[in-house]
Amino acid sequence: MNYNRVVCFDLEMCCWNENGVGTTGEIIEIGLAEIALDQQAIVKRAQYYVKPENDEISLFCSQLTGITPRKIEKQGRPLEQVIQSMIKNFGAGNKIYAAWGRDDLILKQECESKHIECPVGEFLNLATLFRIQQRMKNKRIGHRDAQELLGIDWEGRQHSGYVDAFNLAKLALKLL
């Protein structure tokens, strides 16, 4: 295990807003940003668009994420190919993966349902770590609010996997 490298990742999924209630479906984007703790730097970034097999991208989802059906049609690839690219470019079992919340479970569940080996082994939930460090046992806090609380500027459009993973990497450098 390489404890010097942490791959921060963020997922965007098909989402719907019906009667004010949001639901989510298949993964449509995976954003990644790898940090080197010894350099205190972000050393690698990537963005992968995923073609959903059983879900569609709603107007609500496009407005929230900026991901349109056309973008997925042109740039999206099947999840299995995206996972292969992730493993090639970021490694699998030898790296620690981190997210804000339990994106690891979402990714694992979708990989299992599609008979794909999930690249995430060792996982770190940065939301839990943040709440422990800030003594916020019973209070939930979003990624952006946590980052701003620590005085780290947010860069880019929220709900873009690529942007969210980059911002999460900046936060991880402060927490780890």
Q: Is the pLDDT of residue 149 over 90?
A: yes
Q: Specify the DSSP class assigned to residue 53.
A: S
Q: Is the pLDDT of residue 37 over 70?
A: yes
Query: How far apart (Å, rounded) are the C-alpha atoms in residues 5 and 18?
Result: 40
- The reported pLDDT for the residue numbered 6 is 97
Alpha-carbon distances, residue 25 vs 11, 14, 35, 58 (angstroms): 11, 5, 29, 11
41-65: average pLDDT: 96
- The reported pLDDT for the residue numbered 109 is 97
Q: Are 36 and 43 in contact (CB under 8 A)?
A: yes
- The reported pLDDT for the residue numbered 9 is 98
Residues of the chain with pLDDT > 70, as a percent, come to: 98
- The reported pLDDT for the residue numbered 137 is 77
Q: Specify the DSSP class assigned to residue 156.
A: S
- The reported pLDDT for the residue numbered 97 is 97
104-120: average pLDDT: 96
- The reported pLDDT for the residue numbered 20 is 66
Residues of the chain with pLDDT > 90, as a percent, come to: 88
Of 19-28, 88-97, 136-145, 166-175, the poorest mean pLDDT is in 19-28
Q: How many CB atoms lie within 10 A of CB 153?
A: 8
Q: How many CB atoms lie within 10 A of CB 105?
A: 14
pLDDT tens, residue by residue, 4-16 = 999 999 999 999 8
Amino acid at 163: V
What domains, with CATH codes, occur in the chain?
Answer: 5-175 (3.30.420.10)
Q: Is the pLDDT of residue 19 over 90?
A: no
Residue 86 falls in which region: left (phi positive, over 0), alpha (psi -120 to 50) or beta:
alpha
pTM here is 0.95
- The reported pLDDT for the residue numbered 110 is 97
Strand partners, 22: 17
Q: Is the pLDDT of residue 22 over 90?
A: no
Query: How far apart (Å, rounded) are the C-alpha atoms in residues 168 and 56?
Result: 27
